[in-house]
Amino acid sequence: MRIVLLGAPGAGKGTQAQKLVEDYGVAHISTGDLLRAAVKAQSALGVQAKGYMDAGKLVPDELVIGLVTERLQQDDAQRGFVLDGFPRNTDQADALDVELAKLDMGLDAALLVDVRPEVIVNRLSSRRTCHDCGYTATEGVTACPRCGGKMYQRDDDRPETIARRLETYKNQTAPLIEYYRGHGILKEVDGDRPVGEVYADVTSSLGL
């Protein structure tokens, strides 16, 4: 199983990725997690990325792709992987295709979790994130179920910023849907429903 997860912020991609990892033992590759780990480990790429992050700038594509490529070569990714939050645009998708070809790792599917905007606004505004490990949960959870860290509301999960995030997604990331449709590997599920129902469709669409 080698898949890319697509969908707007708050579509539930991370939740579905976690369930796939638990059930099938594949690697969950999140660029946010990779960046945090690289910075913490002070690796060569992490030091470079931290410089951009400290300056409030986006980490350049080549650094992100370098981190993803390193991660794809680790042992657990040889059994399969779920890419969550990457690629974010068609340029990154092209670069990913090049790196996967070098590693002889073709994608099996690009899975779109499709959710209505009004549902996303409700989900994101009630989401809380762990300060320490990045785990997300719903409003009312004060301690992280994964590591015990303090939960907080990210600035970009506040209602007043969500519309801008969705507009950015529409302009920059949504073209990936047509990119992977053109490659003949796009699969779509309705993400408006309860997690279990969505997951049943995810596994069915992936032939698992």
Q: How far is CA 83 from the centre of its chain?
A: 6
**DSSP code string of 162-203:** HHHHHHHIIIIITHHHHHHHHTT-EEEEETTS-HHHHHHHHH
Among 19, 36, 50, 165, the active-site one is 165
| Tokens standing for residue 199 | 């997951």
Among 36, 88, 181, 193, the active-site one is 88
Among 13, 71, 123, 187, the active-site one is 13
Among 2, 127, 128, 187, the active-site one is 127
Q: Is 158 a catalytic residue?
A: no
Among 146, 154, 164, 170, the active-site one is 154
| Tokens standing for residue 83 | 């890419």
Of 166, 129, 125, nearest to 146 by C-alpha is 129
Q: Is 150 a catalytic residue?
A: no
Q: Is 127 a catalytic residue?
A: yes
Q: What letter represents residue 113's amino acid?
A: V
Collect all residues with Cβ–Cβ distance below 8 Å to 200 and sequence separation of at least 6.
none
- Cβ atoms of 1 and 20 within 8 Å: the answer is yes
- Give the other-Cβ count within 10 Å of 105's Cβ: 16
Q: Is 40 a catalytic residue?
A: no
Which positions are catalytic?
A: 13, 88, 127, 154, 165
